Amino acid sequence: MSNLTKYAVPEGEYGNGTTLEELHVNMSNLLVRAAHGLNLVEKRIVMACVSQLDSMRVGEREDYSQSLVKLSAKEYGDNFGIDMKNAYSELKSASERLFERYIVMMRQTPKGMKEHKFRWVSGVLYQEGAGKIELNFTREVMPYLTLLRSNYTSYSLGMASALRSVYSWRLLELFKSWETTKELFITLEDFRRTMEIPESYLYKDVRVKCIDVAVKELQEKNNLNITWTPIKKSRAVTSLRFKWKQDDQIKLNLEGGEAAKPARTRKAKQVVKIDKAFIERHARPGETYDQAKERLTNKENGGGSIQ
């Protein structure tokens, strides 16, 4: 067999004695930056199964396959904080839809970039009495999940277990795929495609319903300090720049008790720095730079909220 032993645990023993929360989701960067076609429940189930794959080993060969993965309602409920009744219900409901879910990846062809679509799974089985779901990953997706040596993204499943928005989870994955630079520059078109934002959304909707929701949740639950800036060409936002770092002020619960409550104090007025980046971020659709600057400066000096 090869040098694989220095990279991986013995064949067939990956994940033994380990909780889902401790396992890692490992995916090729190409897959991370593709559109996944999953809602939050489906995302939880698929990623919980992906985390059980030994990503250092080959996915399939003639005498070996790790494409079939099982997930119990108890494992699912324990990891994502869901009661057993809903855990059973969500596994059963997802089992009826997952076969139809597919990935959309942009690929270079002689005629330019084209969409390549392929399914996550080739088969799904829900065991009613046992409360288990079985997923059989497709041969097309397995190379993006196994035998990974470079250009891949890794994060513990526990990092995403508390997230309640699929946009938050997808943004977390994008951040992890650019972990070395902790900076992401992406066109708005690519961001829409990867995050699967409805085509009907205007930029304001993208900001409010997708970016603001995801950034707020990742800051609160993953202790990330995130800043982002919309990049405009003429008057239209064409790209986005995200920067992030781990927040050192991690919120810890008191040992054996509730989280400490801060004393109530009078809130000092927050001083806002009205610079170019701030103005571009808070500019309203259709506003010129000078109009946005005047409005924001007046609000800071004379009161009122900045939208």
Residue of 169, 39, 35 whose CA lies nearest to 103 = 35
295 vs 42, residue with greater confidence: 42
In whole angstroms, give the CA distance from residue 53 to residue 71.
12
In whole angstroms, give the CA distance from residue 172 to residue 133.
26
Q: Is the pLDDT of residue 276 over 70?
A: no
Beta bridge partners of 226: 244
In whole angstroms, give the CA distance from residue 206 to residue 192.
8
Residue of 257, 238, 273, 244 whose CA lies nearest to 181 = 244
pLDDT of residue 62: 62
Per residue in 110-134, pLDDT (tens digit) is 988 999 999 999 999 999 889 999 9
pLDDT of residue 129: 86
In whole angstroms, give the CA distance from residue 104 to residue 33.
10
Determine the average pLDDT of the residues in 26-30: 96
Among positive and negative, which fits the CA dihedral 41, 156, 141, 69?
negative
Q: Is the pLDDT of residue 64 over 80?
A: no
Determine the average pLDDT of the residues in 245-268: 46
pLDDT of residue 263: 39
In whole angstroms, give the CA distance from residue 226 to residue 243.
6
pLDDT grade for 57, boundaries at 50, 70 and 90:
confident
| Contact status, residue 234 vs residue 287, Cβ threshold 8 Å | no
Per residue in 213-247, pLDDT (tens digit) is 999 999 999 999 999 999 999 889 999 999 999 88
Residue of 230, 222, 143 whose CA lies nearest to 187 = 230
Residue of 72, 118, 67, 65 whose CA lies nearest to 95 = 72
The answer for 220, left when phi > 0, alpha when psi is -120 to 50, beta otherwise, is alpha
| Contact status, residue 187 vs residue 239, Cβ threshold 8 Å | yes
Percent of the chain with pLDDT over 90: 65
Per residue in 3-23, pLDDT (tens digit) is 444 445 666 667 777 889 999
Provide the Cα torsion 183, 188, 194, 200; round to 10°.
150
SS3 14: coil
In whole angstroms, give the CA distance from residue 7 to residue 56.
6
Q: Where are the alpha helices (DSSP H) in 73-230?
A: 73-80, 84-95, 166-177, 188-195, 203-205, 212-221
pLDDT of residue 284: 58
Q: Is the pLDDT of residue 44 over 50?
A: yes
pLDDT of residue 80: 96
87 vs 2, residue with greater confidence: 87
pLDDT of residue 13: 66
